[in-house]
Each structure stands twice: as C-alpha cells, then as structure tokens.
C-alpha cells in the first residue's frame, strides 16, 4: 500500500487526510525505520507494508468506533511502537492518548516520536499493565482502552478492563480464529465487569488477511482483586 492507496482507502471510509497528517505519517515511518536499526521495534520495515500493516491496520478501529468526540481519552496497553493509538492520534488530533508499555526503550522511542510529530495530549508510561491498573490515578478513568495483538482475550481482559471507566469501552484488534478465543474469554470479560458488544470482521486490503475489531462495553466496576500480580493473568487466566 503506497501513500496514495493509503489515502484513498481511508477516504472510502470517510477519513480525509490533510497534507500535515500525510507528512506526520511519513515522519513516523522514517523514525520507525531509523530506530529499528538499533532496537527491535518491528519486523515490518518495508514502506508499503508499514503503511498497510501498521498505519492502515491501526486506523481500521475507526471504521467501527467513533473517535471524534471532544476530550475523549484512550489508553493503549502494550502499544510497542505506538500501534494502534499513534496513527489514530494523527487522524484525530483531539484524542487524549496514554500508552503503557513494559519496555523502557520503546517508551524512549515514543517520546521522541511525539516530539518529532508535534503531538500534544499524549503520555507514555513505562510499567506493567497489571501494576498500572492498580494505580488509583488511572484505574477506571479511560473512555476507551485498546490492545492490538498483545495476548488472548482472557488475559487481555484482565489487563485492560480495570482501566476502563464504567460505561466505557474496551477494543481488541485481532486476527483470524477469534471465535474459540472469545468463547473461552467470556468468563473473564464478565468477571471483570464487561459485556461483549460487537465483533466486526473484515479483510485487510491488498493481502486479504482476516481482521476482527472486538468491542466490549464496561457495565460494572471491576472487583478490586483484579488485575492480579504481574505475570499471573498469563499463567492462570480466568477461563
């Protein structure tokens, strides 16, 4: 997917990028490749692949969810090199974005990226999601919490739902074979105060790979015992 195809594909979904935004995406790509020479940010460095599998793929959440509200806060758990929240922030500059990631080097990259792209209302935290969600400053404060290809549903729910405010939402961006995973993750979603709302399936253009945007609504407060200690959700998922 070249820049023109990227622009046109987004336009089909009602997203019109201006010159400044196109420039920010190009700067993002250049910085990603530059930093990737010294640290492992991504296995994908080909320009057209980055535009398709990182930038466009990140923005697909906006085809099914409204990011245009004012003062809207999102938390991206395990964002790595900033996906999906930074591409969404470029498209929707009014978003208030918080990223939590367990690797300090990635946080350093994200701070540099935010400076280069002149992004405001962004905050990056070097922390484990389990610890971050126990912090009263952040717990149950976000309108939306997102995660892209981080862990299976039962684990992700415990890492993310404690951060979502009641009546807020949790979005998982997933690949194929999600049906069984959602089935085994049902108990975790319910236990943590959530309710499955939507599972939107589509194919990524050009390569036709299957994608899912799964939306969970937060109906009730998460019990105080969750999330459990770092590493426990993965070792002993709620299933």
CATH number, residue 131: 3.40.50.150
Quote the Cα angle for 127-178-213, to 5°.
Answer: 65
Query: What is the residue range of 199's domain?
Result: 68-235
Tell me how far CA of residue 219 lies from CA of 65, 74, 168, 216, in angstroms.
18, 18, 8, 9
Q: Is 58 within a domain?
A: no
Looking at residue 69, its pLDDT comes to 82
Percent of the chain scoring above 90 in pLDDT: 87
Q: Cα–Cα distance between 186 and 192 in angstroms, integer?
A: 10
Is residue 29 in some structural domain? Answer: no
Give the integer Cα–Cα distance in Å for 70 and 50.
29
**What average pLDDT is seen over the chain?**
94
Report the pLDDT value the prediction gives residue 38, as an integer from 0 to 100: 85
Q: Are 53 and 74 in contact (CB under 8 A)?
A: no
Residues 177-221 pLDDT 10s: 898 899 999 999 999 999 999 999 999 999 999 999 999 999 999
Specify the pLDDT at position 183.
93
Check whether 150 has a pLDDT greater than 80: no
- pLDDT reported for residue 153: 94
Helices (H), the chain: 3-11, 19-36, 47-49, 57-59, 85-91, 104-116, 129-132, 153-160, 179-191, 232-235
Q: Quote the pLDDT of residue 58.
A: 97
pLDDT in tens, 223-233: 999 999 999 99
Split into its structural domains, the chain has a count of 1
Whole-number pLDDT of residue 42? 80
pLDDT score, position 39:
85
Phi-psi region of 14 (alpha: psi -120 to 50; beta: other; left: phi over 0): left
- Both structure tokens of 49: 């692949």
- Beta carbons within 10 angstroms of residue 78's beta carbon: 22
Q: Residue 37: pLDDT band by 50, 70, 90 thresholds?
A: confident
Does residue 174 sit within a domain?
A: yes
Summarised one tens digit per residue, pLDDT across range 101-126 is 999 999 999 999 999 999 999 999 99
Reply yes or no on whether the pLDDT at 151 is more than 90. Answer: no
Residue 64: closest CA among 131, 15, 22, 31: 15
Residue 175 covered by a domain: yes
The CA distance from 55 to 87, in Å, is 6
Q: Is 148 annotated as a binding residue?
A: yes
User: Which residue do the tokens 């019109």 mark?
Assistant: 16
Angstrom distance (rounded) from CA 228 to CA 164: 16
Q: Does the annotation list 43 as a binding residue? A: no
Residue 121 placed within a domain: yes
High-pLDDT (> 70) share of the chain, %: 100
Q: What is the DSSP letter of 227?
A: S
- Asked, for residue 92, whether it belongs to a domain, the answer is yes
Question: Is 83 part of any known ligand binding site?
Answer: yes
Residue 16 maps to a domain: no
Of the candidates 97, 36, 35, which has an alpha carbon nearest to the alpha carbon of residue 72? Answer: 97
What local confidence, expressed as pLDDT, does residue 47 receive? 93
Residue 5 lies in a domain: no
What is the CA 203 to chain-centroid distance, rounded?
18
Residue 169 predicted with pLDDT over 90: yes
CA distance 56 to 50: 8
């Amino acid at each position: 997917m070249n820049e023109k195809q990227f622009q046109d594909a987004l336009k089909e979904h009602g997203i019109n990028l201006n010159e400044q935004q196109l420039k920010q995406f190009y700067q993002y790509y250049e910085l990603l490749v530059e930093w990737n020479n010294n640290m492992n940010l991504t296995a994908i460095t080909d320009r057209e692949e980055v535009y398709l599998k990182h930038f466009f793929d990140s923005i697909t959440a906006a085809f099914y969810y409204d990011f245009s509200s004012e003062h809207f806060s999102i938390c991206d758990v395990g964002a790595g090199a900033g996906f999906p929240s930074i591409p969404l922030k470029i498209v929707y500059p009014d978003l208030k974005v918080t990223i939590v990631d367990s690797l300090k080097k990635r946080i350093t990259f994200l701070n540099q990226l935010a400076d280069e792209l002149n992004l405001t209302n962004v905050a990056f935290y070097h922390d484990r999601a389990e610890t971050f969600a126990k912090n009263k400053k952040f717990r149950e404060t976000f309108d939306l919490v997102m995660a892209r290809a981080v862990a299976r549903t039962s684990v992700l729910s415990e890492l993310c739902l404690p951060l979502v405010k009641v009546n807020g939402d949790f979005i998982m961006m997933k690949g194929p074979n999600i049906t069984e995973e959602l089935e085994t993750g049902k108990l975790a979603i319910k236990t943590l105060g959530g309710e499955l709302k939507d599972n939107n399936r589509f194919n990524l253009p050009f390569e036709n790979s299957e994608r899912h945007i799964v939306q969970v609504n937060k109906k009730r407060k998460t019990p105080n015992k969750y999330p459990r200690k770092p590493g426990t959700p993965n070792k002993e998922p709620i299933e």
